[in-house]
Amino acid sequence: MLLEIKNLHVEVEGKKILDGLSLTVKGGEVAAIMGPNGSGKSTLSYVVAGREDYEVTEGEILLGGENILEMDASERAAKGLFLAFQYPVEIPGVGTMTFLKSALNAQRKARGEDELQTPQLMKRVREAANKLEINQDMLKRALNVGFSGGEKKRMEILQMALLEPKLSIMDETDSGLDIDALRIVAQGVNALRSKDRGFLVITHYQRLLNYIKPDTVHVMAAGRIVKTGGPELALELEKNGYRDYVSEAA
Amino acid sequence: MTNEITQIRTPAEKALISLYASEKDRLPGSAAVKALRGEAFAEFERSGLPHRRIESWHYTDLRSQLREAAPLFEPGSSEFEDSLRHVQPGVPAGYALVLLDGIFVPELSDLDELPGSVTVRSLADVLATGDANLVDRLAPKGLGAGDPALSLNAALMQGGVVVDVAPASELDKPLIILSIMSAGAIHAAYHRSLVRVGAGAKLTLLEIVDAVEIGSNQQNGVLVLEIADDAEVEHLTRISRQGADAIIVRSLLATLGANCKYDGFALIADGGLVRRQVFLRFDGEHSTAGIRGLSLLSGKRHADTTLVVDHAVPHCTSREYFKHIIADEAVGVYQGKVVVRPHAQKTDGGMKSRALLLGDSATMFNKPELEIFADDVVCGHGATVAQLDEEQLFYLRSRGLPRAEAEQLLLEAFAAEAVEHVQNEGARERLMTYVSDWLAARK
Ligand SMILES: Nc1ncnc2c1ncn2[C@@H]1O[C@H](COP(=O)(O)OP(=O)(O)OP(=O)(O)O)[C@@H](O)[C@H]1O
Ligand SMILES: [Mg+2]
């Protein structure tokens, strides 16, 4: 099992946000999570990625069978975890290229691999950027600073393509993307799909799932998974909304 | 009876009084100069060492910090050559004028290579001949008047250089004033230099404060910079290789003529207590001054940057931009005062001082001030004290950068925003390397 979350309870400032959440993602699987605003989807993604301001009061998170709860965010990344942020963070003064090089080499170093030299790296970045139709000029700017909403999301996928994670969590990567960008981003994700890799795709819209076909769809409400099904579940939600599930969770 | 409060003299003040008494006949200068020294010392005696009740020294209480006033160094020539050899590797290419323990050493300076457009004299010689015009210029009127550290320097100045850069000239390499403290027992140096940049000349001036051995020395150095009309000066100051007990006071007294451009940048990365004070006045219209700097403080270091920028004439622009990275229990101080005189219309002033505190024990006192007496001006200031942004750190860490590396990346970016204003490419690169190494050594 690639990702295994067992009975996860998470609090922030004494407020319970995740309430006994369990979930698995297998190698090769694309799992979608849908759920109302405030149900805890982003919190889940942050906790898995290793953000410290959330308190895990109970439960386990295993990545490739290994408990990652005690690991630093950077160690989790080196183990193949990637989070495409719902709101990518602007980093003034840090050039995008400098950042990509630091990230890639930090992970390689942590895994005992050789560092990439700048020319090699530039080539890889350019190729990946071309595929995602990312303007080369953007690579010269400070990371995410002044990028449009859609540009930020593409930059997340560029990082994902370069880092080749085992498990990618995509938190509303589709929101803010225009129709063409949605297709391009989906192609980027589909290109990474393989029997070893898994994806956890958080979205509000069934439309994304037309491009990235999920194997599993989970419904999340009030901090836990309340229903799991196949792609047809997303269609049903699109039609009926969450009313059946919200009352069930409460 | 006077209404002066009789202060209790600290041991350091007592030591300075006896130091002056024993050195005054040996210090260089004509009878007139000796009289000026006496006046300056009397002024110092009245004020005593600067302390927190003097507003401009409020955050740097030298009176309580200077526990012992060290004696002057007895120059022994065999140590001179040796001293320089230890410092040379860090000195960038340029025409170096070497002050060893405050005394100009022509034999160690690049005088032979220096083009004819630059004349260099020893301060001691100028004082001995007592050239009234030059002596006058060593203490420009209205700049830093009454400052106790300046008075003490005027009384005790041992040496320095008097440099004239010919009008319309341009050097192929930077001019360097290299001030070195030799190794050995704790000692003090008082030096003052005057650099006059002729009309239309272009100059890159590096002021390097270095030491043969990292030690606990005391120095009080003054640079008087007189920039004539249409001249352009880039002035870079580096204070490094000073021990955690070293006490360093540096004063810059600068005047700008018309249509000048002055760009200053100071790196303060060492020393126990550093006070850098800049008094700059616009004497001619349409000039621009950029006064910038970066402080990197760790341990229990204390660094104070205090500026007074005097817009005495209309149509001038000033930019003050300082960054401070403060770790451990270090203390940073920034006091920037921009004065716009009543008739100095169309002044454009912008001041920023930004500090990042690493950890809860670090301290920053940030005090920008505008004193505006004219009505048609554009002036603004901003001062911030913050910590590293946890959201940014998490984002970087989630990409695989360990916390220390993520911090380094953000801190380098923070420092670079100041360093990138340095125009001299070699100096800019050395500065960034210095910053990276300093940050890496912190981890
Ligand atoms: N740091 C925090 N401090 C306080 N409350 C928080 C914090 N982080 C999240 N919450 C709260 O936890 C709940 C879940 O938030 P979360 O962002 O995980 O929801 P979400 O499912 O991602 O919502 P959306 O669909 O709007 O993105 C919300 O009520 C939110 O206000
Ligand atoms: Mg969310």
Alpha carbons B97 and B109: distance in angstroms, whole number: 5
Instruction: Taking residues B381-403, report their average pLDDT.
Output: 97
> Which range (A106-115, B85-94, B425-434) has the least confidence?
B85-94
List all residues 6 or more positions away from A15 whose beta carbon is below 8 Å from its beta carbon.
none
B414 touches A: beta carbon within 8 Å = yes
pLDDT of residue B91: 78
A250 touches B: beta carbon within 8 Å = no
Extents of the domains making up chain A: 3-249
* Percent of chain A residues topping a pLDDT of 90: 84
pLDDT of residue B16: 97
pLDDT of residue B393: 98
pLDDT of residue B2: 47
Q: Which chain B residues have a beta carbon less than 8 Å from that of A47?
A: none
C-beta of residue B341 within 8 angstroms of C-beta of residue B310: yes
Please write the tens of the pLDDT for every residue from B326-353: 999 999 999 999 999 999 999 999 999 9
What ipTM was reported for this prediction? 0.96
Q: Is the pLDDT of residue B245 over 70?
A: yes
pLDDT of residue A245: 82
pLDDT of residue B1: 43
- Mutating which of B294, B389, B391, B396 best tests the A interface, going by the most A Cβ atoms within 10 A? B396
List all residues 6 or more positions away from A153 whose beta carbon is below 8 Å from its beta carbon.
A84, A88, A173, A174, A175, A176, A177, A181, A185
Q: Is the pLDDT of residue B213 over 90?
A: no
Q: Is the pLDDT of residue A73 over 90?
A: yes
Atom of ligand 1 nearest to the CA of A43: 18
Instruction: For chain B, give the mean pLDDT.
Output: 93
Please write the tens of the pLDDT for every residue from A172-181: 999 888 998 8
Q: How sure is the predictor about B215, in pLDDT bands with cuts at 50, 70 and 90? A: confident
Q: How sure is the predictor about A208, in pLDDT bands with cuts at 50, 70 and 90? A: very high
Q: Domain A3-249's class?
A: alpha beta
> Which range (B42-51, B83-92, B159-168) has the least confidence?
B83-92
Write out residues 140-169 of A within 8 Å (CB-CB) of B.
142, 159, 163
Q: Is the pLDDT of residue A56 over 80?
A: yes
Atom of ligand 1 nearest to the CA of A54: 1
Please write the tens of the pLDDT for every residue from B50-71: 999 999 999 999 999 998 999 9
Alpha carbons A100 and A103: distance in angstroms, whole number: 5
pLDDT of residue B78: 58
* DSSP-assigned beta bridge partners for residue B385: B355
Q: Is the pLDDT of residue A249 over 80?
A: no
Alpha carbons B189 and B181: distance in angstroms, whole number: 8
C-beta of residue B48 within 8 angstroms of C-beta of residue B7: yes
CA distance, residue A146 to nearest chain B CA (Å):
15
Q: How sure is the predictor about A188, in pLDDT bands with cuts at 50, 70 and 90? A: confident
Burial of B279 (0-12, 13-18, 19+ CB in 10 A): buried
Instruction: For chain A, give the mean pLDDT.
Output: 93
Inter-chain contact A94–B409, Cβ cutoff 8 Å?
yes
pLDDT of residue A191: 92
* DSSP-assigned beta bridge partners for residue A5: A23, A61
pLDDT of residue A169: 98
B395 touches A: beta carbon within 8 Å = yes
**Angle A63-A68-A73 (CA atoms, 0-180°, nearest 5)?**
110
End-to-end Cα spacing for chain B = 59
Alpha carbons A197 and A27: distance in angstroms, whole number: 5
pLDDT of residue B89: 62
pTM of the model: 0.92
Write out residues 147-166 of B within 8 Å (CB-CB) of A.
none
| Residue-level length of chain B | 443
Extents of the domains making up chain B: 11-284, 390-443
Q: Which chain B residues have a beta carbon less than 8 Å from that of A163?
A: 399-400
**Angle A167-A170-A172 (CA atoms, 0-180°, nearest 5)?**
170
Helix axes A118-131, A149-163, angle to 10 degrees: 130
- Mutating which of A91, A99, A109, A145 best tests the B interface, going by the most B Cβ atoms within 10 A? A91
Write out residues 178-237 of A within 8 Å (CB-CB) of B.
none
b/e code A45-79 from CB counts within 10 Å (16+ = b): bbbbbbbeebeeeebebbbeeeebeebebbbbbbb
Q: Is the pLDDT of residue B388 over 80?
A: yes
For residue B337, the one-letter residue type is: K
**DSSP element (H, E) containing B435:** helix B425-442
Q: Which residue has the higher pLDDT, B107 or B388?
A: B388
* Percent of chain A residues topping a pLDDT of 70: 98
CA proximity to B414, closest of B331, B346, B349, B327? B327
